[in-house]
Amino acid sequence: MADEEQQIIETVDEAGNIIKFELYDIVEVDEQEYALLIPVEAEPGEEDELVLMRLSKDGEDYLFETIDDDAEFEKVATYVESLDDEEEEE
């Protein structure tokens, strides 16, 4: 059985630093797609940290955008947490 290939996403933060993430999953909330990302080079204790980013499509390319709207972020975070709860119940 072959290992699943990791999808590594590179983003640039406000200071111009390149940050690498592993694409964990893509979820859809209110017809908008969001990426769940895990930092590749996480600090000790931060291994379980998930990063949420809005996904938009530009031609053939996907763009990863920060979610600036607190209400939108909370809605997506709540949805993701509900998915975790469903998996734990199975």
Q: What is the pLDDT of residues 12-67, one digit of tens each?
A: 878 998 989 999 999 999 999 999 998 887 666 655 688 999 999 888 888 899 99
CB-CB neighbours of 5 under 10 Å: 6
Rounded to 5°, angle at Cα 88 from 84 and 90: 120
Rounded to 5°, angle at Cα 13 from 12 and 15: 115
Least trusted range by pLDDT, from 9-13, 35-39, 75-79: 9-13
What pTM does this model have?
0.77
Residues 6 or more apart whose CB falls under 8 angstroms from that of 39 comprise 19, 20, 21, 46, 49, 51
Q: What are phi and psi of 16, to 5 degrees?
A: 90, 10
